[in-house]
Amino acid sequence: MRWELHQADALTWLAEQPNERFGSLVTDPPYCSGGVHAGARTADSANNKYLNEPWLYPEFAGETRDQYSYLRWTALWLSEAYRTLQPSAPALLFSDWRQLPVLTSALQAAGFTWRGVVVWDKTLAGRPQMGKFRHQAEYVIWGSKGKWHDRKGPPRPGVFTFGVSAGGKKLHTTGKPLPLMEELLKVCPAGPVLDPFAGSATTGVAALRSGREFVGCELVEAYHRLGCERLDKAGTTCCEDQAVTSNRPAAVKGTFT
């Protein structure tokens, strides 16, 4: 098994996974950010919150929770993810500035040891605000299931500078640059990488390119289909043997023999 991508709700799917299956958690969950009041969060599309041209990408799910329900939901899925991770597995979670306090609390409530925050400097891609500081960074909250797995590896940067289109055109409303994901995965052990919010599967592509296995989940059909296409192509490129894909309801696997 080189990769699996399931089309399902993340919380339901995680509850079905066996204990200690995965070697690391690397994911970009919905931020549920940008709206102070319920009407601002639910009356508009998710794409409109993030894009000047909202028609560029398919809509994505999970953006309508308020702060309290977001905290509760995040603690639930992180608790399930914790159970599925091997001892000492790293956990890397993307966040914007608004949800940093909530996500760090949920990470610890789920049992993880919180170890720090990595900064992703998007250069000048953030929307400017006249007379105010530019929001040009997002963040990666990092921790582990118990002790950190590697005390002898070289130190890694705490700030990464990549434009939003670094490594190629963005394929998801909130997609992350492939070079950034490849850098983040350098702290992860060799076990399968888990991403329960796979989007267009950039984490999975980075995992395959690094020689790791990948298992992910994506709720939206359009992104699930796109992710499978990218993983199939990336897996074929990374392996000398030809990819053989098998289809089954709500899941696609890539197997290399």
Contact 161, 126 (CB under 8 A): no
Q: How many whole angstroms separate alpha carbon 76 and alpha carbon 140?
A: 19
| Residue 104, pLDDT score | 97
Q: How many whole angstroms separate alpha carbon 207 and alpha carbon 126?
A: 27
Q: How many whole angstroms separate alpha carbon 167 and alpha carbon 108?
A: 33
Q: How many whole angstroms separate alpha carbon 62 and alpha carbon 196?
A: 13
- Give the tokens for residue 158: 């705490």
The residues with which 5 forms a beta bridge, in sequence order, are: 216, 252
Residue 107 has, within 13 A of its CA and on its CB side, a CA count of 29
What are the chain's domains?
10-220 (3.40.50.150)
pTM above 0.85, yes or no: no
| Residue 242, pLDDT score | 31
DSSP assignment of the chain, as one string? --EEEE-S-HHHHHHTSPTT-BSEEEE------S-SSHHHHHSS-HHHHH-SSGGGS---S-----HHHHHHHHHHHHHHHHHHBPTT-EEEEEE-TTTHHHHHHHHHHTTPEEEEEEEEE-TT-SPP-TTS----EEEEEEEESSS-S-SSSPP--SEEE--TTTTS---STTPPPHHHHHHHGGGS-SSPEEESS-TTTHHHHHHHHTT--EEEE--SHHHHHHHHHHHHHHHHHHSSSPPEEEEETTEEEEE--
pLDDT digits (tens, 9 = 90+) for 216-238: 999 999 999 999 999 999 987 65
- Give the tokens for residue 123: 């250069």
Q: Which residues of the chain have pLDDT under 50?
A: 41-42, 51-52, 55, 60, 239-250, 255-257
pLDDT digits (tens, 9 = 90+) for 122-172: 987 666 788 999 889 999 999 999 999 998 889 999 999 998 887 778 776
Q: How many whole angstroms separate alpha carbon 56 and alpha carbon 8?
A: 24
| Residue 257, pLDDT score | 28
